Structure 1
Amino acid sequence: MAQDYSARHLQVLEGLEAVRKRPGMYIGSTDSRGLMHCLWEIIDNAVDEALGGHGDRIEVILHEDSSVEVRDVARGIPVDIEPRTGLSGVEVVFTKLHAGGKFGGGSYAASGGLHGVGASVVNALSARLDVEVDRGGKTYGMSFRRGEPGTFGDGRSAPSPESPFTPFERSSELAVVGKARRGVTGTRIRYWADPQIFIKNARFEYDELIARARQTAFLVPGLTMVIRDERRLPDTPGADGPHEEVFAYSGGITEYAEYLAPDAAVTDVWRLQGTGSFTETVPVLDERGHMVSREVQRECEVDVAVRWGTGYDTTLRSFVNIITTPKGGTHVAGFDQALMKVFRKQLEVNARRLKVGNDKVDKDDITAGMTAVVTVRLAEPQFEGQTKEVLGTSAVRAIVSRVVETELSARLTSTHRGDKAQASLLLEKVVSEMKSRISARQHKETQRRKNALESSSLPAKLADCRSNDTERSELFIVEGDSALGTAKLARSSDYQALLPIRGKILNVQKASVSDMLSNAECASIIQVIGAGSGRTFDVDIARYGKVIIMTDADVDGAHIRTLLLTLFFRYMRPLVQAGRVYAAMPPLHRIEVAGGRGGKEYIYTYTEAEMRRTVAALQKKGRTVKQPLQRYKGLGEMDADQLAETTMDPRHRTLRRITLADAARADEVFELLMGTNVAPRKDFIVDSAHELDRERIDA
């Protein structure tokens, strides 16, 4: 068989067959990510119309029958006959690959769609797709089954991909299905993803859709995005009924940068705008339909919103014609190049005042605490692949770099009082970051040369362990000296270390870095773990394999645990990401059960519900339960044997691992619960008050 290989073994896939045979080539995957990519293709077509000034409202509806519908009030897909194919514009768009109005024909100055495959790919991968177009006072309609045009016999029942289907045989028909009001134009597309293509558990992610809709509304000022979820899925806002969210912003990317910024401001949001032109050799269709190469003049619009805050995290979003480019490209490279050039020049000019010395500023020093939205608009940008994650148009780099360099230099050298003060603070922050990086590197090198016995700078209150094996060692952060005394007797000093803290530590979400470092408790924790903090944190040199937060099982204990987790999340996040931070689970109750011959048995329970179930089960068996039950108010009420058996001994204890599945969502929650802005927290408490179980209040 291997020898017998000739031209008859070759397959030529025609039209949409190629898409169904190799869907991953067009949408990346056939799981939820691919399903969402199909939806973006349809939404982006509607957004391109709004970007061109046609239409100001887009609605996305997630129907209960697993279909999704996208509505716009733009120009509507052309319904007249396309002369080369003899098909209506609607059928060309949905059945022909590389067909559309975005190949330089003048319909779109800048668009997210480029390859003319988006709508046809979605059609090919749908069990059913219905499209309706309002144009010229009429409503035109057409249906497709897995890319093939025809009619569905729905009868009186709701439209379904399971309805009888009759394909068109001799010629296709774009039917007039109703009347449209005078002057009203637009498109409605509803489709059911094909279960033969997508995996069983693929579904539209509501949170991702909301984030994309909000982002699009920021990028296209004046556009209203409406998301409606009618699926009633559990654990979604629409679980109890249809849920609708509307997004509309007039501030553009300035407002977007303010929304993304996670920290207090050092500078205002600076808008850096400009244009540049370049020539490009591209193949175009001539009057006879032949492809010829011509040089064309392109215009590139650059629009950047950037601000710096007090934190050290960097938030960067980049877009080309409102299409997000998560892996960057030439526009981001140009932005980075300009940042380095401008700041190095400004630090050189102000070297004496800022006490820069001979050190060189690094990119990480500049981008610490920076939030930036980088957007460019140009006709027919070159992307790497249909998923459009990386911009490849080389000329854009120089244009973005020149615009950012010019505008940012003007800001940093401005004589305006407000700009001058902000520029001074920003340069001081960059120099501070640079010195912190160099100091941390030197400290790290020094630490690597030391062994555990040589280190004498650890806090006196640390009860360290004897083992130097990081994988095996554990650090218990315990609440108060009373718990420390019991824990010392309960621990295995070979591999379990204890660090007591006094009550509630500083809320680092509200505090500055300097306030955090000057706080004795926070500084002790960072010092004992020994891996640095913030941007310089190195999880590989942490002194302990597990960090276990052991607080009382009451409201105050929960608050202390939250404050400690805020410290870890904000300044030692890699430790959380590595799954090395835990919360101990001390019991709430001890149930004493009478045994035979005067013996006693002790059972520990960890929740109120578990205690009730256990007592009921024991009484049902005829066992005698001593009343009242012992309710532990704190760790100090336990003796060493009880604490070891229930909370510290690896053979019997239960630990709760702290995970970080969604960093962005976690960041939002920490900012809501622990941040400086009080009003959203008050709203959250008021809105969630009905979920409180009054019996859980220990009063």
Structure 2
Amino acid sequence: MPGAARNTSYSAHHLQVLEGLEAVRKRPGMYIGSTDGRGLMHCLWEIIDNSVDEALAGVCDTITVTLHADGSVEVGDNGRGVPVDIEPRTGLTGVEVVYTKLHAGGKFGGGSYTASGGLHGVGASVVNALSARMDVAVDRGGQTHAMSFRRGEPGVFADQDSPDPDSPFRPFDETPTLRITGKVARARTGTRVRYWADRQIFIKDAQFDDEALRARARQTSFLVPGLKIVIRDERGLPGTRGADGLHEEVFHHEGGISEFADFLATDPPVTDIWRLQGSGTFVETVPVLDAKGHMTPTDVERECGVDIALRWGTGFDTLIASFVNIIATPKGGTHITGFDQAMLKVFRKQLEVNSRRLKVGTDKVDKDDILAGLTAVITVRLAEPQFEGQTKEVLGTPAVRAIVAKVVEQELTQRFENPKKGEKQQGALLLEKVVAEMKSRISARLHKETQRAKNALESSTLPAKLADCRSNDITKTELFIVEGDSALGTAKLARSSEFQALLPIRGKILNVQKASVADTLKNAECAAILQVIGAGSGRTFDVEQVRYGKVIIMTDADVDGAHIRTLLITLFFRYMRPLVEAGRLYAAVPPLHRIEVVNPGSKPNELIYTYSEAQMRSTVAALTKRNRTIKQPLQRYKGLGEMDAVQLASTTMDPAHRTLRRVTAEDAQNAMQTFELLMGNEVAPRRDFIVTGAARLDRERIDA
């Protein structure tokens, strides 16, 4: 600014240089993404993945993860053990190099690992830097070697027998040394790492997610056939599987990614599990450390192995799980690009060859038509892959695209041209399904099942029973789906007709998780809801076309009302999921009780509404303590129809006073599996779920 005094004292001494692990503690988000529960779990993945890399190298078959009651976590394996000898360039033991030096490890082309997930050499050292305490024990050469660290600094704690991160700590004065703490059989090797996350770094509420840990363990056991992963939870936290004491679960799968794809798939199959396998080589220029310690650009020939398991089902959802050296790449990368390109090329060629039989015409199939109903597990293995960032969510190695594309093209073409009767029949059914998806998309039909015949949903007229609102402003309009005609009458009087619309349903709608698409669309109540929402369904659902800003399910506060609400949420989740993901589906919360407090004289009595049994009891107790007179008996609402219009408006429908519960689906895949368990065709898993959970049932919570 003109006239403003300028500070010209900025000089070199103002510059700050962070060395070693200081940078990690100063900017933890750069290395682990965040300092909440996700960052906490990322640290755990880094330690677990080091053990998994040993399994990938064929030298480890058991990994044990223990969540201790004191907040620490321990990961142990029976691999080769971290090297305990002296690393010549640094003069430090292998243990100290691995756990204190950034960009150090055995995965930089030294021949120890042909394919691994840890590539940047920062995983273990970053976790160490962000830990209040870390204890490392290595079984190697017939002895157990141990070393402890505090926030990345090696030293000795005073309480080695009962470890505590707050116990007195003495850093090493000179070069750190490994302690010999015991003897083991010479054939026994392995590494055990126990650490306490530093609460100076992580937020107070950050917790290990046991469900995410179980999912990752299951996933890894599929990706590394024969590897046994044991999860032990000793925390006793409420709401976890170990709430009642020690809980141990073992994950061990011999079937590999074929079994993984079958596990992930939720719809009836159109094809069997198809396994596409192959490999290719490419030349990459990388800096290699020579004998003099200099980095020299060198051309290195790499091999990339491709292993893909896929199957198509009758549904329209697509689930592709991709991995590089068993590290998940949720945001894809060059391997997914190659997969998509090859799929499009193969299917277009096959449709061209069979165009007359399939009546394809001049239409072109696109990627979404092919991927509809596909469940695939895509894995590639190569040395030193390039990832975009430390979180490794995107593969960046360019040559992988062409290798994956070539393998998929060759293997998939062989599947379609296989003369075996079963394979040929599956290929023909798959092509018919893809053509059906293409025609459905081009004709803008709601579903592939509705492409050949007229459907009630094609009608532009809205159901007669809809009491629509006058406003067209999506930011304000609300659709109430009301249970029963009796409640509808009261709701019509209670609503604001300017922006609140009402759609009554009669009784319990169809369980769409068990029904076919055709049966769902034939059902009058389901069809009416889809018509009124006005945005299609399934893969063609367009959330931008939804006619109302909020969709609110308003059912009675009893068991039947809860069942109807569950059936409706199932319908929305299966056929209108983007509406749920956008946070526009709600459940109304009507009151359970009305307490009338008698006022003296001519003053009107005071009405208090409560929404649970506990709230009612505490409210009555508080009023009694204040010597207030309560009119008896208390009114217990069993249904919406028992309230008059004023009561319904003030408690449930008026935006100024009501309470709404938003229906969310943070993890769509877990939610889908839960819906399938609770609402699907398979009875046995649901029975096991009920029997297992019966012991934890609180009978007081049942509103019968």
The answer to whether the aligner puts 1:290 opposite 2:273 as a matched pair is no
- Structure 1 residue matching 2:49: 3-state secondary structure: helix
Q: 1:420 to 1:11 in 2, by over 3 A?
A: same
Q: 1:614 to 1:129 in 2, by over 3 A?
A: closer
What do residues 16-43 of structure 1 show as CA deviations (whole Å, max 9, x unaligned)? Answer: 3333333333323333333222222221
Task: Give the counterpart of 1:531 among 535, 538, 555.
Answer: 535
Residue of structure 2 in register with 1:82 after alignment: 87
Residue of structure 2 in register with 1:513 after alignment: 517
- Structure 2 residue matching 1:282: 3-state secondary structure: strand
- Structure 2 residue matching 1:101: 3-state secondary structure: coil
Name which of structure 1's ranges 18-27 and 267-276 shifts more when overlaid on structure 2: 18-27
Q: 1:18 to 1:620 in 2, by over 3 A?
A: closer
What do residues 85-110 of structure 1 show as CA deviations (whole Å, max 9, x unaligned)? Answer: 22222222223222222122221111
Q: 1:162 to 1:551 in 2, by over 3 A?
A: closer
Residue of structure 2 in register with 1:115 after alignment: 120
- Structure 1 residue matching 2:81: 3-state secondary structure: coil
Residue of structure 1 in register with 2:134 after alignment: 129
The structural deviation recorded for 1:321 is 0.8
Residue of structure 1 in register with 2:224 after alignment: 220
Give me the whole-angstrom Cα distance separating, in 2, the residues matched to 1:212 and 1:697: 35
The structural deviation recorded for 1:602 is 5.3
- Structure 2 residue matching 1:60: 3-state secondary structure: strand
What do residues 195-216 of structure 1 show as CA deviations (whole Å, max 9, x unaligned)? Answer: 3333333332222222211111
RMSD: 2.6
Give me the whole-angstrom Cα distance separating, in 1, the residues matched to 2:395 and 2:137: 33
1:310 touches 1:512 (CA, 8 Å); kept in 2? no
Residue of structure 1 in register with 2:60 after alignment: 55
Aligned pairs for 1:476-491 within 5 A? 476-491=480-495
Residue of structure 2 in register with 1:256 after alignment: 260
Residue of structure 2 in register with 1:92 after alignment: 97
The structural deviation recorded for 1:186 is 0.8
Give me the whole-angstrom Cα distance separating, in 2, the residues matched to 1:610 and 1:442: 45
The answer to whether the aligner puts 1:562 opposite 2:561 as a matched pair is no
Residue of structure 2 in register with 1:503 after alignment: 507
What do residues 648-696 of structure 1 show as CA deviations (whole Å, max 9, x unaligned)? Answer: 3444443333233333332232122111211111112222223445466
Q: 1:174 to 1:689 in 2, by over 3 A?
A: closer
Q: 1:656 to 1:24 in 2, by over 3 A?
A: closer
1:592 touches 1:603 (CA, 8 Å); kept in 2? yes
Give me the whole-angstrom Cα distance separating, in 2, the residues matched to 1:636 and 1:442: 35
The structural deviation recorded for 1:226 is 1.2
What do residues 598-641 of structure 1 show as CA deviations (whole Å, max 9, x unaligned)? Answer: 97665544433444444555555666655555444433444444
Give me the whole-angstrom Cα distance separating, in 2, the residues matched to 1:625 and 1:674: 43
The answer to whether the aligner puts 1:437 opposite 2:417 as a matched pair is no
Q: 1:357 to 1:126 in 2, by over 3 A?
A: same
Give me the whole-angstrom Cα distance separating, in 2, the residues matched to 1:662 and 1:475: 26
Residue of structure 1 in register with 2:373 after alignment: 369
What do residues 161-212 of structure 1 show as CA deviations (whole Å, max 9, x unaligned)? Answer: 3222222223322222110123111111122223333333333222222221
Q: 1:170 to 1:610 in 2, by over 3 A?
A: closer
| Percent identity over paired residues | 75
What do residues 232-255 of structure 1 show as CA deviations (whole Å, max 9, x unaligned)? Answer: 333322233332221111111111
The answer to whether the aligner puts 1:411 opposite 2:406 as a matched pair is no
Name which of structure 1's ranges 601-610 and 166-175 shifts more when overlaid on structure 2: 601-610
**Counterpart of 1:57 in structure 2: which amino acid?**
T
The structural deviation recorded for 1:527 is 0.7
**Which stretches in structure 1 are left out of the alignment for 5+ residues?**
444-454
Give me the whole-angstrom Cα distance separating, in 2, the residues matched to 1:112 and 1:383: 10
The answer to whether the aligner puts 1:394 opposite 2:437 as a matched pair is no
Give me the whole-angstrom Cα distance separating, in 1, the residues matched to 2:608 and 2:207: 44
Q: 1:442 to 1:82 in 2, by over 3 A?
A: closer
Residue of structure 2 in register with 1:383 after alignment: 387
The structural deviation recorded for 1:332 is 0.9
**Counterpart of 2:277 in structure 1: which amino acid?**
Q
Name which of structure 1's ranges 296-305 and 542-551 shifts more when overlaid on structure 2: 542-551
**Counterpart of 1:154 in structure 2: which amino acid?**
D
Q: 1:482 to 1:109 in 2, by over 3 A?
A: same
Give me the whole-angstrom Cα distance separating, in 2, the residues matched to 1:438 and 1:465: 33
Residue of structure 1 in register with 2:360 after alignment: 356
Name which of structure 1's ranges 359-368 and 28-37 shifts more when overlaid on structure 2: 28-37
The answer to whether the aligner puts 1:312 opposite 2:316 as a matched pair is yes
The answer to whether the aligner puts 1:669 opposite 2:674 as a matched pair is yes
Residue of structure 1 in register with 2:455 after alignment: none
Q: 1:197 to 1:481 in 2, by over 3 A?
A: closer
Aligned pairs for 1:577-588 within 5 A? 577-588=581-592
1:440 touches 1:532 (CA, 8 Å); kept in 2? no
The answer to whether the aligner puts 1:420 opposite 2:420 as a matched pair is no
The answer to whether the aligner puts 1:101 opposite 2:106 as a matched pair is yes
1:267 touches 1:309 (CA, 8 Å); kept in 2? yes
The answer to whether the aligner puts 1:270 opposite 2:260 as a matched pair is no
Give me the whole-angstrom Cα distance separating, in 2, the residues matched to 1:460 and 1:635: 22
Aligned pairs for 1:545-560 within 5 A? 545-560=549-564
What do residues 100-129 of structure 1 show as CA deviations (whole Å, max 9, x unaligned)? Answer: 221222211111122222222222332222
**Counterpart of 2:513 in structure 1: which amino acid?**
Q
The structural deviation recorded for 1:217 is 0.9
- Structure 2 residue matching 1:296: 3-state secondary structure: strand
Name which of structure 1's ranges 385-394 and 147-156 shifts more when overlaid on structure 2: 147-156
Give me the whole-angstrom Cα distance separating, in 1, the residues matched to 2:408 and 2:321: 16
**Which stretches in structure 2 are left out of the alignment for 5+ residues?**
1-5, 448-458
What do residues 242-288 of structure 1 show as CA deviations (whole Å, max 9, x unaligned)? Answer: 32221111111111111222322222221111111112222223334
Give me the whole-angstrom Cα distance separating, in 1, the residues matched to 2:494 and 2:408: 61
Name which of structure 1's ranges 611-620 and 368-377 shifts more when overlaid on structure 2: 611-620
2:31 touches 2:391 (CA, 8 Å); kept in 1? yes
**Counterpart of 1:584 in structure 2: which amino acid?**
A
Give me the whole-angstrom Cα distance separating, in 2, the residues matched to 1:211 and 1:507: 28
- Structure 1 residue matching 2:194: 3-state secondary structure: strand
The answer to whether the aligner puts 1:73 opposite 2:78 as a matched pair is yes
TM superposition score normalised by structure 2: 0.91
Give me the whole-angstrom Cα distance separating, in 1, the residues matched to 2:532 and 2:432: 30
Q: 1:39 to 1:644 in 2, by over 3 A?
A: closer
Task: Give the counterpart of 1:247 among 251, 271, 279.
Answer: 251
The structural deviation recorded for 1:53 is 0.7
2:217 touches 2:229 (CA, 8 Å); kept in 1? yes
Give me the whole-angstrom Cα distance separating, in 2, the residues matched to 1:47 and 1:109: 13
Task: Give the counterpart of 1:200 among 204, 214, 225.
Answer: 204
The structural deviation recorded for 1:334 is 0.6
Name which of structure 1's ranges 87-96 and 195-204 shifts more when overlaid on structure 2: 195-204
The answer to whether the aligner puts 1:64 opposite 2:69 as a matched pair is yes
**Counterpart of 2:124 in structure 1: which amino acid?**
A
Residue of structure 1 in register with 2:174 after alignment: 170
Task: Give the counterpart of 1:607 among 608, 612, 626.
Answer: 612
